[in-house]
Structure 1
């Protein structure tokens, strides 16, 4: 018998799983009230902004896959905001930048998460705006137990907040003191903002009109106005140690809306796997599956050295293509059909050797050699000065949630951005702007070049899949560049390892930082491979013998996966990672 850290949840009524136990239980309470999976997810998303403020916020970003009951394929919900009209390479270069900072006002794109949540609520939910916002308002006003990691982040940044970002100091260090872990923490400014939003929205008489009124309040009304007025004069310290003004304004916000898109998919060993498009890193997982299909991965021990080596070398190739070819397809010609083709996968598969590659090897497609060469050059020159106040352990991360209801509606969503470390709190709103623009390059002519109106190539990458028997799966994880790495490992262990959801999550994890990072300062670490110490010593030795530059992680420190599934019979299952001791799955 294989034991797990916790039981895999199962039932028929509904399941909700997320990176915080409060959000998961809020989601379940919405299902109990008669709401569907989309109502529950919306409530969970707003609660996560309150209880995990170091990982996401209201003015951040969100990507989701939604699959209404009876739908043959999922739909992508794009809550990734675009670069402001004045966000040009020339402007950023004139400010003395060669990379976009990882924090501060020039790192901001149009906030996307709020409109995405409300678009989904309007079109696919059933409950009122008040019903899904009230749990978040409760925790903002009456308090939630502050997570230890969030408390440490605030404490470590307390002096910086005091001297450079006083609006953040007022929110995160009330009365001048950093919050203690586990002690109730309140954000009354955020509660007031949502109260006012509801009051304005409820001047309308029906549900749809109220939701649309709330969307206008954020993007054309009092929230946009407050952001615009503040940004006219604000000049704040960013990750480079310099003070700079931003370029976002009210016109940018008024001209943007969230939207739906078709997903990309591949078939693999009888499974179908869906991801968002190349404006995310999602196709990387699909490319990796195509490459792995001819490697004999199915026969490998899913916690053995051959498995780790083969997956890692495959990921290196996929990441190299991500750097060369991914970006917003509305602004660049992305060769996605070639990247996901059988022929291309065969050529890439042949590059996997017996030893660890130390090279960046994007594919050399016809007419694209310049892009491939540029990607290699960026990887070689990606070292940049680290932030003076924003060390690696203080960087924001992400949250994730999956929900399936009794009717078969399902969602996998990955919200992020608007972290408490990304930008100062906007005065009076209790929320900070995002820093997603740091994923653009300040070199012209690349798919990921900074361009007004374009989406940055986000790391946010929720997933859905369907097995040969018709069971439907929603899954994902926080983790920046690690998201599709951990998801790929999880999925392979389900498909080939015969593991349950919880077993596949609990099994030892690994990832590589070989590729150029998506986040400032955009470093690469060729040959790097970090593994949890629960792998056998013989596995570690074999990986070292193959030339991997091995790093042993702290126990139970890699991956924050959650997952939920529904079989054709209606049986629901859900699981959540034990890592960091805050994610939970609930259901019945």
Structure 2
């Protein structure tokens, strides 16, 4: 029996797994009170705004994939807000920007998370708005023991808060310092925002659905939108080091509604894997699976050996190069070809014995790939050839359980939450809320939360798959996953981690679906990822041939990877990945769950 840090939980009633134990237990409380998986996920989602504010917030976004007991067909909840009407390439370039800032009001997309959670509750929940928001209201009003990583994030941007983002300083600093880990922290303004949503919803009528719609209007057309527009016009310092006002307006808020979409699916080794459409990075995981199959080598499906890690890493680089060239909202994405066996064979033929350091997008249907000039110029400056050189493993100072890295101007990457829930009836959801971080933009004082900074994922260059344009959604890194077998949902999973989300999920799926490991075994196993492709976050870096690894992989494996030209960076033994997962056996009704032990914050619960 393989040692695990925790057991894989099993039961028949219901399971929840999230990146914070309070959110997981909140979801379980809802199930115990008769709610379904969707009620539970919404309650957990709003609690995550309170307990993980450095990783998500009401000003952010949430994509999710669901399957219901009545209709197991997977559906995508699209809670990614678009670029505001004033967010044009001309507006940014006229101020001298080459890249969209990674923080501050200018980087704000239309907030999508709250409307998406409420849409889910209206269409598939059973409980009232007051019932599902009560836990978040309680924690925001009365406080919760604040986590160490939240405090560290506040400390890292304290100077910015004190010198410019003074509304954030008023909320987050206590006697001139970040709060102490474990101290009771409350956000009364956000509690009042949620109470007002409940009250304005209740005033619209007696039915559950009517009240939810009333709250949605209060958010997008009422007091929230009014406060957002007023505050967005104020100039604040962003990652450029200069102060600029935002462009988000109440009209932008009113013009957005979360929606339901079809997922992208791939039939693979007896299961069907579902991801969001290519306005996000989800199909990159599916592409990687097709490339690995084209290699026709069982050893290439083992992410624990040199014989597996090398081709998996190279396949990921190829898929993510295609993400850069072809994925984007409102773009003619050749998705059918990108996921075809013939195209996968072409891409697989590029995988050699040595690690590649190049960004190599393909030409599906004979179309010429387009890469941002910023990336082309960087590649020219770095020179060629770009194969890695053999060397001793180095220490990666950025690997930290998938948590945020933050600089003094609020520039962040890898900040996200995740929650999975399955109930006794067979309802299942995988949701990845993110954005609207406490360090992304100044706090709106009367609302108790900041706007997000998702626009940084656009390019300020015309003609690219992810070029900035009003009304387009940024190509998000948020990527929930659902797996079906014989038409029934059997697994929901996901992870924070920015560009690493897809990679960590891939390793988990290979270990669980192919290697036969339990949920907890697959989560606990040594994790790794590559950074040898264009990053999605400001300043959009590429690190040719770099492979970031947990050193538990072992000396022989690390040496073998170096021998193949990978620039191995050690991230510590327990530092990468923040996977969550729930599963259900449709034949027996047994449900299971597991959560990541790294960082000592994610937990699963159930019975």
Match of 1:481 in 2: 499
1:320 aligns with 2:321: yes
Note if contact 2:105-2:247 (Cα within 8 Å) is conserved in structure 1.
yes
Cα pair 1:280 1:327 within 8 Å, conserved? yes
1:226 aligns to 2:244 (yes or no): no
Which region of structure 1 is more displaced relative to structure 2, 301-310 or 512-521?
301-310
Q: 2:27 aligned with 1:5, yes or no?
A: no
CA distance in 1, matches of 2:183, 2:598: 21
CA distance in 1, matches of 2:174, 2:137: 18
Instruction: State the partner residue of 2:56.
Output: 56
Aligned position for 2:594: 575
2:294 aligned counterpart, secondary structure: coil
Cα distance in 2 between the residues matched to 1:373 and 1:388 = 25
Aligned partner (choices 571, 575, 592) of residue 557 of structure 1: 575
CA distance in 1, matches of 2:284, 2:452: 24
In the TM superposition, what is the alpha-carbon distance from 1:59 to its structure 2 partner? 1.1
**Are the aligned partners of 1:63 and 1:462 in contact in 2 as well (CA < 8 Å)?**
yes
Tell me, in whole angstroms, the C-alpha distance in 1 between the residues paired with 2:380 and 2:118.
41
Q: Quick check: 1:360–1:376 contact (8 Å CA) kept in 2?
A: no
Query: Paired residue for 1:278?
Result: 278
User: How many correspondences in the alignment?
Assistant: 582
Checking the alignment, whether the CA contact within 8 Å between 1:476 and 1:483 is kept in structure 2 is yes
Aligned-residue RMSD, C-alpha? 1.8
Q: Is the 8 A contact 1:323 1:375 kept in 2?
A: no
SS in 2 for 1:369: coil
What's 2:360 paired with?
Answer: 361
Q: Residue 375 and residue 406 in structure 1: after superposition, are their counterparts in 2 closer, same or farther (change >3 A)?
A: farther
**By how many angstroms is 1:467 displaced?**
3.9
**Structure 1 contact 60–416 (Cα < 8 Å) conserved:** yes
- Residue 106 in structure 1 maps to residue 106 in structure 2: yes
Contact 2:299 2:307 in 1 (8 A): no
Structure 1 Cα separation of the partners of residues 299 and 502 of structure 2: 22
Contact 2:458–2:468 (CA under 8 A) maintained in structure 1: yes
User: Using a 3 Å threshold, how does the CA distance of structure 1 residues 391 and 246 change in structure 2: closer, same or farther?
Assistant: closer
Q: Are 2:583 and 2:591, in contact at CA under 8 Å, matched by a contact in 1?
A: yes
Corresponding residue number in structure 1 for 2:76: 76
Q: Quote how far apart the aligned CAs of 1:257 are.
A: 0.2
Counterpart of 2:192 in 1: which secondary structure? helix
Q: TM-score, normalised by structure 1?
A: 0.96
Task: Tell me if structure 1 keeps the 8 A contact 2:410–2:440.
Answer: no
> What's the offset of the Cα at 1:378?
6.4
Deviation at 1:99, TM superposition (A): 0.2
Instruction: Tell me if 1:529 matches 2:547.
Output: yes
Question: What displacement does 1:466 show?
Answer: 2.2
- Quote the offset at 1:72 in angstroms: 3.9
**Contact 1:187 1:430 (C-alpha < 8 Å) held by counterparts:** yes
The reply on whether 1:494 has 2:512 as its aligned counterpart is yes
CA contact (8 A) 1:240 1:387 kept: no
Determine the C-alpha separation between the residues in 2 that align with 1:341 and 1:370.
Answer: 17
Matched residue SS, 1:492? helix
Q: Is the 8 A contact 2:108 2:453 kept in 1?
A: yes
Give the equivalent residue in structure 1 for 2:150: 150
**Pairing 1:19-38 to 2, within 5 Å after superposition:** 19-38=19-38
In structure 2, distance between residues paired with 1:11 and 1:423: 42
- The equivalent residue for 2:332 is 333
Q: TM-score, normalised by structure 2?
A: 0.93
SS for the counterpart of 2:214 is helix
1:87-486 alignment runs, 5 A limit: 87-203=87-203, 204-232=205-233, 234-299=234-299, 301-328=302-329, 331-366=330-365, 368-371=367-370, 377=376, 380=379, 389-390=408-409, 395=413, 397-467=415-485, 472-486=490-504
What SS class does the counterpart of residue 265 from structure 1 fall into? strand
Measured at CA, do residues 372 and 420 of structure 1 come closer, stay the same or move farther in structure 2, by a change above 3 Å? Answer: closer
Aligned partners of 2:554 and 2:191: how far apart in 1?
Answer: 49
In structure 1, stretches of 5+ residues that fail to align are: none
CA contact (8 A) 1:76 1:260 kept: yes
Change (3 A) 1:388 1:308: closer
| 1:376 to 1:347, Cα distance in 2 relative to 1, 3 A | farther
Gaps of 5+ in 2: 383-404
Q: How far did residue 306 of structure 1 move?
A: 1.3
1:470 Cα deviation from its structure 2 partner: 5.5
How far did 1:2 drift? 0.6
**In the aligned structure 1, how far is the partner of 2:87 from the partner of 2:557?**
48
Deviations 1:437-483 (A, max 9, x none): 00000000111000000000000000001246966100000000000
CA drift of 1:511 comes to 0.2
| CA spacing shift, 1:581–1:367, aligned 2, 3 Å | same
Kept after mapping to 2: 8 A contact 1:111/1:433: yes
